[in-house]
A and B are shown apart, each in its own frame.
Chain A
């Protein structure tokens, strides 16, 4: 298994509070991603990073920000959490194979905003 950890694994927070989720990898992969998973939508990309301090927006980036100050860490911040951000959040890393890029996922963080 790829060395990816996420913290916390579960969090309950109140509307309007800031929340930061952490993804840590030990694989030294260049690319890191944050997804959210919701019923009927599969996995939707929030933000991704293609190197230290290099990030870009994904499909559902509104209300989220990210930072990557080290290769191994990718942080996702909800500046002011809303109930619509209740979801399961997955971090992923990717590396190229001889065919293309493959992603490997962390165990997920279940976030509940009350």
Chain B
């Protein structure tokens, strides 16, 4: 039973538009949430995170929103660029326990 779900295996958006990647979790113990980006043949790289005491965190073009009551978080990328094309993993943690979602492949079309 997956504790962290990313229900969209893939997403395509036009360059310059907004990309919205979604993630749902089931375990109420999770208190820290992270997004990672992964290019082929490379390890995942940390992108942005949010603590459970916040509902929004922004870093440049990337914003993560957290809705604790719905156990849902989303990553917004504005504006999307071709270099953003990658697989995005959502992760949830409490302490040193990390659980990753299956990933969403984002394709940004020029």
Chain A residues near B (Cβ < 8 Å): 4, 31, 33, 35, 40-45, 48, 50, 90, 92, 94, 97, 99-108
Contact = CB atoms under 8 A, between A and B. Distances in A.
Given A100-B31, A100-B49, A100-B51, A43 B96 contact: no
A100 B45 contact: no
B96 A50 contact: yes
A34 to B, nearest CB: 12
Assign chain B's interface to a size class: 20 to 34
B29 interface: no
Nearest to A56: B96
B101 A105 contact: no
Interface string B31-47: 11010100001111110
Contact of A105 (B43, B50, B102): B43
B80 to A, nearest CB: 22
A28 B71 CA distance: 34
Contacts of B89: 42-43
Nearest to B89: A42
A74 to B, nearest CB: 14
Given A42-B89, A42-B102, A43-B100, A99 B32 contact: yes
B54 to A, nearest CB: 9
B61 to A, nearest CB: 20
Given A42-B102, A50-B96, A99-B32, A106 B43 contact: yes
B96 A99 contact: no
A105 B44 contact: yes
A103 B46 contact: yes
